[in-house]
Amino acid sequence: MTEETGIIKAVLEGDTESFRLLVQRYQKPVIRMIANLVNDRHICEDVAQDVFLAAYKKLPSFDPARSSFSTWLFVITRNKSINAIKKSRIPSTGNPPENPDFSEPVDTLIRNELFVKLDQALNSLNPEHRRALVLAEFENLSYEQIAQIEGVRIGTIKSRINRAKHRLRSALDGINGDFQ
């Protein structure tokens, strides 16, 4: 039995306090995923709170034979993020870029401008492509895990990520080099 399975078992047996360990372990990846999927940064923690509460309620239905706890939790995060996007009805414009500080060196200014371009490209992605890219690039999940979370085949995930990367690459057009 892994340590995590032990914690889950303890929670299911009535040790509510053990759930704190799961929250502490997963709060960062969950909030990061939400922040990169939902354009409104102010609601990230509220959505994350909903995710953990839903996880607590649904914990008896978690089956370790079907998926890992992290994958299961990311499925809840994905669904809550989609709901939050629908509810907030925020267009894919993202957070406004910070005002450039002209006292900064030119390199930093150029980099900030490129970051804004990349943010805009990320926000303009199809939600499915965006989710696949966020899970692969920011959460470092395997194609298999992403496919499980999205409920599609691995090939579909690979294609979504490639398309998303292509869009981001296009955003950086005009500068030499490429990224993989």
- Report the interface residues with other proteins, using CB under 8 A: 16-17, 19-20, 23-24, 27-28, 31-32, 35-36, 45, 48-49, 52-53, 56-57, 107, 110-111, 114-115, 118, 137-138, 168-169, 172, 175-180
> Which residue's CB is nearer to other proteins, number 28 or number 87?
28
> Which residue's CB is nearer to other proteins, number 113 or number 155?
113
Token pair of 128 as six digits: 């499915």
Q: Say which DSSP state 92 is in.
A: T
Q: At its nearest, how many Å lie between other proteins and the CB of residue 6?
A: 19
Q: At its nearest, how many Å lie between other proteins and the CB of residue 44?
A: 8
Helix 143-150 crosses helix 154-171 at what angle (to 10 degrees)? 100
Angstrom distance (rounded) from CA 178 to CA 162: 13
Burial category of 140 from C-beta neighbours within 10 Å (exposed 0-12, middle 13-18, buried 19 and up):
exposed
Q: At its nearest, how many Å lie between other proteins and the CB of residue 85?
A: 17
